[in-house]
A and B are shown apart, each in its own frame.
Chain A
Amino acid sequence: MVEKFSPVGEKEVTRAIASEFVTQFLEYVESDCIIVGGGPSGLMAGRNLARAGKKVLIVERNNYIGGGFWIGGYLMNKVTIRHPAERVLDELGIPYKEVTPGLLVADGPHACSKLIASACDSGVKFANMTIFDDLVLKEDGRVAGVVINWTPISALPREITCVDPVALESTIVMDATGHDAQVVRKLEERGLIKTKGFGAMWVERSEDLVIEYTGEVHPGLIVIGMAVTTVYGLPRMGPTFGAMLLSGEVGAEIALEKLHERAKVK
């Protein structure tokens, strides 16, 4: 006997999508943390914050989540990770093998989908196909949210479209936009910070330094992942993802501390 789908009309489908979207959107107009960038560092940070009970929204400009974690070098879908970041793979149940001492390789789609699933299971919500447009700054200069718009809007010529963005508020914003460091760049445009640009590739050292420099770069704004290299002029990252995962972990720890401090102030 062939199973039959429920008889549902187009209007019910549209109503279900729109109402669920709007419900979530309204709920996340204010959150504990907005993470700009849904790559490995952003996902890891979001996952850990959500697991700690925080309300987290990840803004992603693409329709897919995961950034470059789906694929390794030269469009080959194997991702490399260096010790000690395999503990994250163990935690997420991602299979891997050691190719040389300290260098591990995993299947990109498997690793990425497990990380996304873990972030979703932890309670992270996503605004995908959404571009980061600007920052919300409070009177004291503190970062307090982001201004967003739909991604397709950015592809249209300004002459034929004028769609104003909207703002979302949060106690903490994280820049997980990779080498572009888009969020920090907005601060730079306002003269509030001066980024250093990234240095020459020195893979062996860049991973340690990314973890070392992960942190609050301006009140309310934490920088994680590859964006760290741009902000501090560190050696450019190579194709390994360990630092991104661990930087996300460190970013979440720092965000929890900051949220705790802010809660005490309030």
Chain B
Amino acid sequence: MRGQRLNKILLYNEGADQALNIEEIAEYLRKKLAKVGVEVRGDPFAFYLLQNKILDYARRIASIKIQEATRRMVFGQEPLYGEIEYEKRRILGKTRAFGILYDGLELQRIFWELIPGEERRLEFVHIFFTNRLFATWEESDKRYHARTSVYGMPSIISTTGVVEAPAKPREYYLLKQQYEMLRRDLLELKDAFKGRFIDYEDERLTEVMKGYAMQAVFYSVLGEPFCEDKGCRLYNAHWQEELIFAQLGSEYEFCPRHTKFLEDEEWALRR
């Protein structure tokens, strides 16, 4: 265990799904961690970014786009003009459109630069909620895997990732294959599975994201965001069914071990 003193949790909204209520998450964290300050900062680009840096950031974000899931990206290639323009519009808040896959670790690195130097310390937990989808490279099977979150400084949590990364029911994929062959609209298919996975603009999203925010907090304090208990909110769900159970369906919020941490108000403040 690392044992890190917590000072403040800072929540950012980088174009996250509109169903996400960050104020509600902040309130939840305040209740769970009574002695830790929680601040909602909104759009990190609007908060920190200097006007003369917009083009530079747009270019860098455009250059960390993953082209192929099975080919490890070598970054540094100059992006196309249109790609930079799109990223500029995103940074300026002129669009929330998403659908690009980024390298999660590179994205985390870019977001890290947006944090003022004096707050780049482990006593601050920076959590960026975004609708950008990101993936990390897995050496074991030589491919990128979409992720809901990448924890660290800062922690980034994707409202798109929570829809796309944990696997949907097996029958969904079998039918999806058929729908694609027939060129039928997948909206119809999603309707048939409604409720069995977290979707875009899902009214359950905020509740689910409270668990992911707690994973980020536990990572900062203990160095381990996850729990092996399937009913604990810190469970690292790989299936939507598991995710829904851990975040919404379990009889308890946290397993006995993690509940014990949270019952001790001084827990997160000790070194």
Question: Interface code A94-105, partner B: CB below 8 Å = 1, 0 otherwise?
Answer: 000001101100
Secondary structure class of chain A's binding surface, majority of residues: mixed
B179 to chain A, nearest CB (A): 9
Is B185 touching A212 in the complex (CB atoms < 8 A)? no
Chain A residues with CB under 8 Å of B139's CB are none
Chain A residues with CB under 8 Å of B100's CB are 209, 234
Bound Cα distance from A103 to B191, whole angstroms:
12
Residues of B whose CB lies within 8 Å of any CB of A are 65, 67-69, 80-83, 85-86, 89, 95, 97-101, 180, 182-188, 191, 200
Is B99 touching A239 in the complex (CB atoms < 8 A)? no
Is B186 touching A238 in the complex (CB atoms < 8 A)? yes
Is A206 touching B99 in the complex (CB atoms < 8 A)? yes
Instruction: Give the residue of B69, B97, B182, B187 whose beta carbon is less than 8 angstroms from that of A212.
Output: B97
Is B99 touching A205 in the complex (CB atoms < 8 A)? yes
Given contacts A199-B67, A201-B180, A217-B80, contact A208 B97 (CB under 8 A): yes
Bound Cα distance from A233 to B101, whole angstroms:
10
Chain B residues with CB under 8 Å of A211's CB are 97
Chain B residues with CB under 8 Å of A213's CB are 82-83, 86
Chain A residues with CB under 8 Å of B184's CB are 73-74, 239
> Which chain A residue shows the least CB distance to B186?
A203
Chain A residues with CB under 8 Å of B180's CB are 201, 238
Q: How many A-B residue pairs have CB under 8 A?
A: 80
Interface centre among B86, B180, B187 (most CB of A within 10 A): B187
Given contacts A206-B99, A212-B95, contact A100 B187 (CB under 8 A): yes
Report the interface size class on chain A: 35 or more
Is A204 touching B67 in the complex (CB atoms < 8 A)? no
Instruction: Give the residue of A72, A102, A194 whose beta carbon is less than 8 angstroms from that of B187.
Output: A102
A25 interface residue per 8 A CB criterion = no
> Which chain A residue shows the least CB distance to B182?
A74
Give the contacts of A50-72 with B (CB-CB under 8 A): 72
A215 interface residue per 8 A CB criterion = yes
Bound Cα distance from A213 to B69, whole angstroms:
21
Interchain residue pairs A-B with the least CB separation, the first 4: A73-B183, A205-B99, A208-B97, A239-B183
Is A199 touching B101 in the complex (CB atoms < 8 A)? yes
